Structure 1
Amino acid sequence: MKQLVYLAALLFFIGCAPKPKVTMNAWEQERMNRIKQDFCISESQVKEYIRKYIPDVTDAQMRQWEKSNALECMVIDGERRYFRNAGPNLFRIDSAAYCVKVATEGVQLSKSEKVNKEHLPKVIDAVKQTGEYRVMPKRMRVTYTLTVEPNAVPDGNIIRCWLPYPRTDERRQQQVKLLKTSEAKYLLAPSSCKHSTLYMEQKAIRNEPTVFSESFEYTSYAEWHHLKSADILPYDTTSTLYKEYTSERAPHIRFSPRIKQLSSRLTQGETNPLLKAQRIFAWINRYFPWASAREYSTIENIPEYVLDNRHGDCGQVSLLFITLCRCSGIPAHFQSGFMMHPGEWNLHDWAEIYFQGIGWVPVDQSFGIPTFAENMDQRMFFLGGIDSWRMIVNDDYSMPLVPAKKFPRSETVDFQRGEVEWEGGNLYFNKWKYNMEIEYLN
């Protein structure tokens, strides 16, 4: 019965969908427009931020930081333009600048780190006491809203909207319940889709915002595996799973000469998959600090971008980790959605890797080795473990949406904030905003 309802809804919405109208030249122009929005501040604006910590910053210092890629900029239309978060990123990426900022403000844990400082030891203890891998369930009620700005679409035209929805096929995410939608007609993507979406349509009304919303509940579990190298069995390299998740996948999982050399160097002399993965995880954690990222859709190959620029956000370092694991013969795939920590929810990406005899285990590369860790279990928690505060939306990257999107996505890699289009084209992020309200029920 559910399949019939899904097919009927899909046929209805497909019948309303516009036809593709995009060409390669149009996409290149769109990509350039997106880059201009990311690289939108001047040198004087960047210097103004830097002077808060380095009052006598010089042009020579600026050029040196640019050369090292610690200060991200590019020349656009003959003018040097800087990434919108280039100033804050400098003090995350450049070690000397980082020390200057720490000397001024000290080292402070983020809100999510403060939550996890208390949470992770409890997860580890619960797993050891119960023998269960999934523990400490958190029930959450969420209202997610996407608001298209007035007159972004001409009056009377249909706006198509895809909202993120918690996956119903994940072992760490259970009892998903849809409570309310802004539109009576909607379409939930089947669990076979790698991006979990709730699709709706509305007509634009002149001078009024168009608001799409959904409310739902779900339960999220922490997971932790007390991994030991002796427990890892040899892979069945003939299996479909092994072949699929150790293969290349353009454009972002590619075994370039640099990736192959790096993979070989990091895992040299080691045959155990767990110890290989730990080496990769620790190396990325040490040398690639988190920094705010430019839009993924403007980057040709994300792992190579991370290596070139010596930094990355959660999805970028996760894709580097996945690529190095696959190149080293360790099955790996992308996973993403939201971190739902009280006081600090946000978009977030991580990975899963597969060990023969154990199965898939989570890896959060950007959470990495916590600075607050007090023992080895806590230090390596996020290789084989994940906290309770998550909402899983995606089980891969750059996969089709349901119903199909007719114009290039705003985010061509991940799917989190949502996607919006009309018959005139895609609506980029600057044409709408999103918000999430979370009620913690336990």
Structure 2
Amino acid sequence: KIPLPEDVLKLKNYGDFAGAQKMIDHFMTKDIPNALRKRLEIEKDVLKVMGGNEYPYTYEEALEIMTSHLRDFKEEELQYLKEISAADWIYVDGTVHFQRRFYENLIKTRPDLAERVMVEDVDDAQANELKQKLLNDNVHYMKEKGGRTVRTQIRATIKAQKDAEEVGRKVTVHLPIPKICQQVSKVDIIAASPEITKIADEDAAQRTVCFETELKADQEFMVEYAYDYHVDYVELDPAKASEEQPDFCTNEQAPHIRFTPYLQELLKEIIGDETNPIIKARKIYDFVTTKVMYSYMREYFTIECIPEYAAINLKGDCGVQALLFITLCRMTGIPARWQSGLYATEFYTGCHDWAQFYVAPYGWVFADLSFGGSAWRMGNTERWNYYFGNLDIFRMPANSEIQMEFTPEKKWLRIDPIDNQRGEIEYEDHGLSFDQVEVEQILVSMEDK
């Protein structure tokens, strides 16, 4: 939350990351305030990430990717996508470089480009139809039955890449597991390898299992767990909102959940003079799902204030959108909080983030901004409405807060200091980055109870 010195910021924006590091080293030799010193220490790690593999493609390389994958793609189209902020880019040593997933992001978010992919995989198209049917069927089931309970089993693994493998050295590994919360009960560890050193408390804010051992060659760390997951269906009726509402979970939480001047102005535009908490929350949900375009993100650690980033750039992935919703809700007096972990189905299992908000007399309910936004863009109004207040069954919640310590605490900079869905590996003198580890999560089974 502390600004950077102007000269450091100049070098960073130009993409002279080595020069910015040197400038920081110069500042660190001075007698400077402790708050600024801490900020500069953090920035050195941010610069390593930004100057690493986040933005690998030059303009020419990005153009080659687009022309080799899309029918009749022209250079002026890439320039246009850059100019309208559809393709994420930064300067690296004064030249344009595109983010590592810029192509995948464009295909995911722009149907006009997806239709021009030259090699179309029929199996992928069929799988996408089945994915959509899975979500729609869940909505219909929940509305008909009023709730749903499943027993889910997942296998998660992590290992060091060969070039980051230091055999014989002491290593500490964390893997996320389900936490006991509103939706989750009866968590069982089915198997693990090697032997688990520590299991965090069942209600830990960011729950993990921890392994401590001497690393063997090609060693994989694995945990397989099962848990009961239950959600109820709710239709939020503004007429039933209580006159008295609670004020917990309405505070700022720097550096990200901050009530900035811009967000205050934006909130006035969104809710106007509305006082009903359900209507206010719905107005915020509608803004995020219809105005903030889904976009793959660079590492959250490199963004100074995630909600403001989303509100200014009008783009962001599931966690960015969730944090904007949480922040705006808190600003207007609606309790809101974070949840994240995995989205797990037979077609795909991977990281996902969503939000909860509290309205009396309903209690804690859910908002999935990215799933809601995707449904809105598809014209699926029923599913768009469903994800305001409701969640599906395809979840593994491991985290209920951002930026919380593990048990035991991690010594070095985390792969993701904000959240934990993939796992972490560290040696006694340094931690590994995301491009130095291999991570996999597999849905073993999911059965209705």
Report the TM-score when normalising by structure 2: 0.83
CA distance in 2, matches of 1:91, 1:149: 29
Matched, 1:419 2:424: yes
Indicate the residue corresponding to 1:154 in structure 2: 166
1:218-297 matches, within 5 Å, as 218-236=227-245, 242-243=247-248, 245-297=249-301
Matched, 1:113 2:119: no
Give 1:374 shift: 6.6
Matched, 1:66 2:93: no
CA distance in 1, matches of 2:39, 2:429: 17
Q: What's the secondary structure of 1:201's corresponding residue?
A: strand
Indicate the residue corresponding to 1:211 in structure 2: 220
Whether the 8 Å contact between 1:70 and 1:309 is mirrored in structure 2 is no
Whether the 8 Å contact between 2:301 and 2:416 is mirrored in structure 1 is yes
Amino acid at match of 2:240: D
Give 1:137 shift: 1.6
CA distance in 2, matches of 1:23, 1:157: 30
Q: Which has the higher contact order (CA 8 A, sep 6+)?
A: 1
1:34-113 matches, within 5 Å, as 34-35=49-50, 36-51=52-67, 52-53=69-70, 55-59=72-76, 61-91=77-107, 98-102=111-115, 109=128, 111-113=130-132
Amino acid at match of 1:382: Y
CA distance in 2, matches of 1:161, 1:145: 11
Percentage identity across paired residues of the two chains: 26
RMSD, matched Cα: 2.5
Matched, 1:141 2:153: yes
Pair 1:271–1:215, CA change in 2 (3 A): same
Whether the 8 Å contact between 1:151 and 1:209 is mirrored in structure 2 is no
Amino acid at match of 2:178: P
Q: 1:198 aligns with which of 188, 209, 222?
A: 209
Whether the 8 Å contact between 1:326 and 1:332 is mirrored in structure 2 is yes
- Deviation per CA, 1:313-366: give whole Å up to 9, x if none: 110101111111111211101100001122121110000000122211111111
Deviates more, 1:80-89 or 1:331-340: 80-89
Pair 1:291–1:321, CA change in 2 (3 A): same
Give 1:273 shift: 0.7
Q: 1:439 aligns with which of 428, 432, 444?
A: 444
Pair 1:269–1:102, CA change in 2 (3 A): farther
Whether the 8 Å contact between 1:195 and 1:399 is mirrored in structure 2 is yes
Whether the 8 Å contact between 1:163 and 1:199 is mirrored in structure 2 is yes
Amino acid at match of 2:400: D
CA distance in 2, matches of 1:310, 1:299: 14
Where in structure 1 are there 5+ consecutive unaligned residues?
1-21, 128-134
Detail structure 1 runs of 4+ shifted over 6 Å in the superposition.
103-108, 372-375
Whether the 8 Å contact between 2:108 and 2:114 is mirrored in structure 1 is no
Indicate the residue corresponding to 1:13 in structure 2: none
Q: What's the secondary structure of 2:404's corresponding residue?
A: coil
Indicate the residue corresponding to 2:34 in structure 1: none
Give 1:98 shift: 4.2
Q: What's the secondary structure of 1:409's corresponding residue?
A: coil
Whether the 8 Å contact between 2:277 and 2:359 is mirrored in structure 1 is yes
CA distance in 2, matches of 1:405, 1:71: 34
